[in-house]
Chains A and B, each alone.
Chain A
Amino acid sequence: MADVLRVSGLSKHYGRLEAVRGIGFSVRAGEVFALIGPNGAGKTTTLRMVATILQPSAGAIELDGIDVVSDPASARARLSYLPEEAGAYKSMRGREYLRFMAEVFFDDRERQTESLASAAEISGLGDRLDDKIGTYSKGMARKLLLARAIMTRPKLAILDEPTSGLDVLGALDVRDTIKEFTRSGMAVLLSSHNMLEIEYLSDRVSVIHQGTIHATGTPAELKERFGADNLEEVFAEVAR
């Protein structure tokens, strides 16, 4: 399948600190692509640049044929971003939040209603959607935000640690939902610290350490290359 996202030579400086140092990768339609690496490796920084909310110091990002750096507005209509540890407006009810997001995203009423209905289903919150978000547990809020992120059926969903804070069942649920959505062609770029999840979910993985990509491949390829039994060993090998 065709590449939805192409990243090349991407760098980001925070003052003197170079958080991302000339990385490149690409994500195909319907593919789940994961970034793994130790804390402070530059995963979130990379995802934020792809999501148009940080400007790269150097490099190119192309999403669905659009230059993300020079035309962020068009890119935003094609992507969705779930920030790490994000919250929602606590005084809103769950359904109200989803409707607000749908209304911001789509001009078309029908598509608004459609995405609202699909989000209600994805979230699995049922009647609790009519409660204030302030009363939700961490996992419930995360599910609501994930539903928000994929309800618009973007070309690319950027999910920063999508299952952090979820219990085992919740995480399984979320993984299944993500898988299901990729079947209709949505590409996913995510980061995670859960290697089990990465192995189950990702088609391809990049291991990033100190702002540089050290290896990219399917979980099977990576394990073979590093002579490891699982991704955790691969991770440890690279991070050392």
Chain B
Amino acid sequence: MRRFLVLLRKEVKELITPQILLPFVITIMMFAVIGQVVGAEGEEAAANRRLALLDRDRTEASSALRAAIEGAGFTIEEAADDDAGEAARALSASGGSILVVVPEGYGAALGDATPARIEVYSVIRTFSVMSGQDSAALSAALLQVEQTVAQEVMTEHAAAIDPAFIKDPLAVVDHVMVGDRQAQVSRDTVMAFISTQTMLVPIVLFVVVMFAAQMVAVAIATEKENKTLETLLAMPISRSAIVTAKMMAAGLVALVSAAAYMVGMNIYMKGLMEGFGETGTSTSAATAFADQLGLTLGVGDYAMLGLSMFAAILVALVISLILGAFAENVKAVQSLITPMIVLLMVPYFVSMFVDVNSLAPVARWTVLAIPFTHAFLAAPNLFLGNAHMVLLGAAYELAWFAVLVVVAGRIFSSDRLLTMRLNLAKLKKQR
């Protein structure tokens, strides 16, 4: 035990080098900074909306429209030309982004209760999410105008009918059911809530497993390359202590990094949310329906989620330990570790885009046979109350771990560790 701790301390120290820490710190800072910058950008964009207006109607109605647009936070510039086509070209050339044209007869049409026209020209310069913000704000303002006008016209011309009816003749009330619980909420809202709640889990899992796997495989390959492994193997310390210390060190560093990533991503998300002005408003409402639907996680759920993720990390650690033992040097690690990355990518993308249970049987069982799948499915399963599935998955992962540990133990206690080398270049030559 004492020897094991000496070894563990050495392994952890070896892993925590500036070379490892730097990209890691940079990533977290990047997340935080991007979140803040994008958020601030959003705020600034909201404070700084401008569009060009060509009012060829010049009636009371068009003035009201102008006021409504200004009310939505836009600074209005007069269009550069009296002709709509010319004005649009000028807008594009001058770097503007939106031109609203109110044609002659707009006010008259509204007065006659016939459909009036407004033309909106948008210049697309980028496809970023932020660039759509101004258009969205304009659409909201125009919708507001439409409703006001409709209301006015109806009170005047069709006093017998309830304006609310015309506006919204079918009131659709959404109910969502999860298991035997239900709540009055739209499906989209629930989906959005769940995805913000569970989005971080697969990303963090993916990054951390990759990170841990890389660390262990590189650590073993480095010891092989420098022949420090030979020295260590001739020392009075058990093979299992050597193997366990390596895995545990990488596991510990991976867990710490997972926590750090979580924090970084959280700052990032918060920054984004602030930018879109969505903080706070929806949380209380969200928890209300989440409680009704049982879409919340208790302490036990988090423990199960943690177990499943930890089991996945363990499996990844042994696999990469074995792969690292095959590598002749550090360079070979990259190619040897590829099969494991594929094993990780498949469930990552599958769980992101499709429901595993809706796959064809062969595909489904193939995906389910991959131990990592169960870690990716754990969070959604817990929200849906399928705790037994999560436990079964974790047990399956741990079974893999147990088998692989035995395999790794065999490799490390035989001399295959020193004699087997998969030299990919040589294999290719032989073919």
**Chain A contact residues, CB within 8 Å of chain B:** 14, 48, 51-55, 73, 76-77, 79-92, 100-101, 103-105, 107, 145, 148, 158
Contacts and interface: CB of A to CB of B under 8 A. Distances in A.
A79 B418 CA distance: 19
Contact of B234 (A53, A91, A100): A53
A86 B6 contact: no
A89 B419 CA distance: 22
B233 A100 contact: no
Given A55-B415, A100-B6, A85 B14 contact: no
B17 interface: yes
Given A53-B415, A86-B227, A100-B6, A91 B235 contact: no
Given A55-B415, A88-B228, 9 more contacts: A48-B230, A48-B418, A76-B236, A81-B231, A83-B230, A86-B231, A89-B10, A89-B226, A104-B237
Contacts of A76: 234-237
A172 B3 CA distance: 35
Given A53-B415, A55-B414, A73 B227 contact: no
B2 interface: yes
B6 A89 contact: no
A64 to B, nearest CB: 14
Contacts of B233: 52-53
B75 interface: no
Contacts of B198: none
A158 B419 CA distance: 20
B234 A51 contact: yes
B350 interface: no
Contacts of A145: 231
A79 B234 contact: yes
Contacts of A89: 10, 14, 226, 228
A77 B236 contact: yes
Nearest to B234: A81
A158 B10 CA distance: 25
Contact of A104 (B6, B228, B419): B6
20 contacts: A48-B418, A52-B233, A52-B234, A54-B415, A54-B419, A76-B234, A76-B237, A79-B234, A80-B234, A84-B227, A88-B226, A89-B14, A89-B226, A103-B3, A104-B6, A104-B235, A104-B236, A104-B237, A107-B2, A145-B231
Interface pairs A-B: 4 shortest CB-CB: A87-B226, A81-B234, A86-B227, A83-B230
A88 B14 CA distance: 12
B255 interface: no
A53 B3 contact: no
B197 interface: no
A91 B227 contact: no
B149 interface: no
Nearest to A51: B234
**Residue of A82, A83, A92, A101 with most chain B CB atoms under a 10 A cut-off:** A83
A94 to B, nearest CB: 14
A151 to B, nearest CB: 13
Q: Is the interface of B mostly helix, strand, loop or mixed?
A: helix
Q: Which size class do B's interface residues fall under?
A: 20 to 34
A144 to B, nearest CB: 12
B224 to A, nearest CB: 11
Contacts of B391: none
A53 B230 contact: yes
B304 to A, nearest CB: 38
B7 interface: yes
Nearest to A87: B226
A158 B233 CA distance: 14
B238 interface: yes
Interface string B234-248: 111110000000000
Contacts of B2: 107
A128 B234 CA distance: 27
B234 A104 contact: no
A103 B6 contact: yes
B427 to A, nearest CB: 15
B254 to A, nearest CB: 19
**Residue of B13, B238, B415 with most chain A CB atoms under a 10 A cut-off:** B415
Contact of A73 (B231, B236, B415, B418): B236
A149 to B, nearest CB: 8
Nearest to B19: A91
Interface in B1-27: 2-3, 6-7, 10, 13-14, 17
A91 B228 CA distance: 13
A82 B10 CA distance: 20
B40 to A, nearest CB: 40
B415 A87 contact: no
Interface string B122-138: 00000000000000000
A53 B233 CA distance: 6
A92 B225 CA distance: 17
Nearest to A77: B236
Interface string B213-233: 000000000000111101101
Contacts of B3: 103-104
Contacts of A48: 230, 418
A77 B225 CA distance: 25
A240 to B, nearest CB: 30
Nearest to B226: A87
A81 B414 CA distance: 18
Interface in B339-396: none
A104 to B, nearest CB: 5
Contacts of B234: 51-53, 76, 79-81, 158
Contacts of A103: 3, 6
B227 A14 contact: no
A222 B345 CA distance: 64
B335 to A, nearest CB: 23
A87 B14 contact: no
Contact of A81 (B7, B13, B230, B419): B230
